[in-house]
Amino acid sequence: MLTFDFHSPVEEISLPLYAEKQVRVFMKRDDLIHPYISGNKWRKLKYTLNQAKQEQRTLLVTFGGAWSNHLLATACAGAKFGFQTYAFVRGERIDNPVLKLCQIFGMQLEFVDRQRYKNKEDLFHERFGNDQHAYFIDEGGYGKQALIGCSEIIDELADHYDHIFCACGTGTTAAGLLEGIHQRGLQTTLHAVPVLKGGEFLREEINKLTKRADDNLQLHSTYHAGGYAKTTPALIQFINEFTQQTGILLEPTYTGKLLFAVHDLLKKNEIPAHTKILILHTGGLTGLLGMLDKF
């Protein structure tokens, strides 16, 4: 079992909107777990890396875009726990701070065109099919082992919350939260906010990992701001205002859209008064480096 472990704190956020709507809002600060293996990235990698260790694999092979928090987390975790790391990067060759950090941690990068990238298992088998030391990790850390890690978030909560909100990219974090809610017999409603356009398909992805997708799950699929890693002036303004009011840094790809959704739903009175809300901050703040020109 890997020895690195950390339970992130929960803090209450006080804003005029919350007082007006008579709700209490808390944030689970998974962004504080680690500077680079932060948030749900560590949750997803924890048991995956343990499985790789048990199978005596020494090379982690994974996938992601040029600004992927998952790639950086895997590179850092590989260095920390004694793995070599290799990543297939979607799109044309590019140099940026996130990929440079991946390389500093020892990760080898291979850029592949977007069409070839769609067939991740084929890429893995072409390059590493005969390598018994190589271990496949899907994009974003998606998988059953990741589900277990994300379900532990619920185990760490000392209080009960009526509503829990999380951003949704692959559906793994939401699936894990649903599993944790079910295991503890809670009546909590989970709200998942897809960050990519057409995010309704994520209900099916969540169902592949856990059959709880129809239990206590609400999917809010209209807060994508035009698509994955897309922004709007209203979203950027919101992030600036929230960060300046709370001292909690957000980024536009995941947590910014998540908080924007929470505030909009409150303004529309779609969340009842006198309820307790928990928002999961999933980290990934290095994604800001590629979007600073938006601010």
Distance from C-alpha of 31 to C-alpha of 228, rounded to nearest angstrom: 20
Cβ 152 vs Cβ 123: under 8 Å? no
Cβ 96 vs Cβ 289: under 8 Å? yes
Provide the annotated active-site residues: 68
Distance from C-alpha of 249 to C-alpha of 39, rounded to nearest angstrom: 13
**Per-residue DSSP letters for 77-134?**
HHHHHT-EEEEEEESS----HHHHHHHHTT-EEEEE-HHHHT-HHHHHHHHHTT-TTE
CA neighbor of 91 nearest in space, from 63, 122, 61: 63
Distance from C-alpha of 59 to C-alpha of 292, rounded to nearest angstrom: 33
Cβ 291 vs Cβ 231: under 8 Å? yes
Cα distances (angstroms) measured from residue 253 to each of 53, 118, 136, 244: 32, 21, 25, 18
Half-sphere exposure of 265 (CA within 13 A, CB side): 23
What are 278's two structure tokens?
A: 């928990």
